[in-house]
Amino acid sequence: MHAEDEMDADGLTVFDIESVILSGQITERQRDRQPDEWKYLVNGQALGGAGVTVVAKFGATDKLVMITVFRE
């Protein structure tokens, strides 16, 4: 839900996020101690060309879960 709120606040759509994930790059990998998981920062471009970072992790069912999203 946090990622959805941030998308709305920055005027981004699910299609913008899809563009970032599909055409962007993982620029950083961070390990959370609690819970013991990896999260990934993916930098790329929204459909309109704006720079966007998506912070995501793989959930318990191995599906990608968005944690937050922000414009650069």
Number of domains in the chain: 1
What distance lies between CA 61 and its chain's CA centroid? 18
Q: Which domain holds residue 35?
A: 2-71
Q: What is the pLDDT of residues 36-49, one digit of tens each?
A: 899 999 999 999 99
What is the C-alpha separation between 1 and 66, in angstroms, rounded? 9
Interval 7-58: pLDDT, tens? 999 999 999 999 999 999 999 999 988 888 999 999 999 999 999 999 999 9
